[in-house]
């Protein structure tokens, strides 16, 4: 589970509820008609902008925000280095026996092409094409939530205008002006909350997840092509570490040192 997503949802809900209860009566913030105009209108406009297939794909991807499967770049680099060492000792065909143990389908597919003797240029083009299409699919999900983030406040303002029209009709009764004005502003409140607490953060998180996944897969392409060319494993490892941030490189070096020390103790 992605703890940051859970903390953000719960902490945001606590802040909103605190503000509502601090004002006295939280029931003043609840209006069925305002919810219908703001949420319903925003969703309707977004549906107009996308196909039903795109929307289905977006909702299939949403569980990843909570049940997120972390793909460690450290583990990928170590695996590629080990496969490079094995290929130099036993040949590229020796990698075929390890393919069933590889969980990453992208890496497994790239290794299949290498074992089959496909030219490096064709491997790079094929894997890059798959990466580009994945980026397009991810972009549709990000665009979906960015559209929602723009539509909810707009429909909140539409609801506010509807409320103000009703308010002007009741000017002859001053006792109704306060409640009518409050109701008019509730729709703007809903629109702002849905946009800034839900949609914008989800779009940003999906963008971050997409960028990270693409970065790791680009690293896989470089590693697999390096294995195919017979490059020295240490040189390949140094190249793959360029995909890591300075802090990640430091953590990776610590991990390698720890693993080496544990291996030395086991041999003793």
Residue 247, CA distances (Å) to 39, 210, 254 in order: 42, 21, 11
Does 149 fall in a domain? yes
What's residue 110's pLDDT?
A: 93
Q: Give the DSSP letter string of 201-262.
A: HHHHHHHHHHHHHHHHHHHHHHHHHHHHHT--HHHHHHHHGGGS-HHHHHHHHHHHHHHHHH
Average pLDDT, the chain: 87
Cβ atoms 173, 201 nearer than 8 A = no
CA distance 143 to 44: 15
Q: Which domain holds residue 64?
A: 1-11+31-253
Does a structural domain hold residue 20? Answer: no
In a domain, 104, yes or no: yes
Is position 208 within any domain? yes
Query: Does residue 237 register a pLDDT over 90?
Result: yes
How far apart, in whole angstroms, are the C-alpha atoms of residue 140 and residue 135? 9
133 is a domain residue: yes
38-52, 103-117, 120-134, 164-178: segment of lowest average pLDDT = 164-178
* 123 contacts 224 by C-beta, under 8 angstroms: yes
| Half-sphere exposure for 160 (CA within 13 Å, toward CB) | 15
- Is residue 259 domain-resident? no
pLDDT confidence tier of residue 120, bands split at 50, 70 and 90: very high
Instruction: Yes or no: say if 243 and 218 are a contact pair by the CB < 8 Å rule.
Output: yes
Average pLDDT over residues 198-202: 93
Whole-number pLDDT of residue 45: 96
In this predicted structure, the answer to whether residue 126 has a pLDDT above a threshold of 70 is yes
The reply to whether 168 falls in a domain is yes
Residue 121 has pLDDT above 70, yes or no: yes
Q: Which two tokens stand for residue 79?
A: 């695996």
The answer to whether residue 60 scores a pLDDT higher than 60 is: yes
pLDDT bracket for residue 264 (50, 70, 90)? low
Give mean pLDDT, residues 39-55. Answer: 94
More confident of the two residues 100 and 141:
141
Q: How many independent structural domains does the chain possess?
A: 1
Neighbours of 232 (CB within 10 A): 12
Flag whether pLDDT at 36 surpasses 60. Answer: yes
pLDDT value of position 41: 95
User: What's the pLDDT score for residue 124?
Assistant: 94
Percentage of the chain modeled with pLDDT above 90 = 54
pLDDT digits (tens, 9 = 90+) for 13-34: 999 888 888 866 787 788 888 8
Q: Decide if 200 is inside a domain.
A: yes
Q: Is residue 66 predicted with pLDDT exceeding 80? A: no
């Amino acid at each position: 589970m992605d703890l940051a997503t859970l903390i953000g949802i719960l902490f945001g809900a606590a802040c909103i509820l605190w503000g509502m209860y601090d004002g006295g009566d939280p029931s003043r913030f609840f209006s069925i008609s305002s919810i219908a105009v703001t949420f319903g209108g925003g969703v309707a406009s977004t549906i107009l902008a996308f196909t039903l297939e795109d929307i289905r794909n977006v909702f299939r991807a949403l569980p990843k925000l909570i049940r997120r499967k972390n793909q460690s770049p450290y583990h990928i680099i170590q695996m590629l280095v080990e496969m490079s060492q094995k290929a130099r000792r036993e040949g590229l065909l020796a990698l075929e026996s390890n393919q069933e143990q590889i969980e990453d389908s992208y890496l497994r597919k790239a290794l299949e092409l290498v074992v089959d003797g496909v030219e490096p240029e064709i491997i790079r083009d094929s894997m890059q094409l798959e990466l580009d299409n994945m980026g397009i699919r991810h972009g549709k999900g990000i665009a979906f939530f960015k559209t929602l983030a723009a539509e909810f406040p707009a429909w909140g303002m539409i609801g506010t205008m509807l409320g103000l029209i009703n308010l002007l009709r009741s000017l002859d009764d001053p006792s109704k002006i306060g409640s009518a004005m409050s109701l008019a502003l509730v729709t703007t409140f809903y629109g702002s909350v849905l946009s800034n607490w839900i949609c914008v953060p989800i779009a940003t998180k999906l963008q971050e997840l997409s960028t990270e996944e693409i970065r790791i897969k680009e690293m896989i392409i470089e590693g697999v092509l390096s294995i195919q060319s017979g490059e020295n494993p240490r040189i390949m490892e140094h190249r793959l570490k360029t995909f890591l941030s300075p802090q990640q490189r430091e953590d990776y070096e610590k991990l390698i040192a720890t693993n080496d020390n544990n291996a030395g103790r086991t041999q003793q």
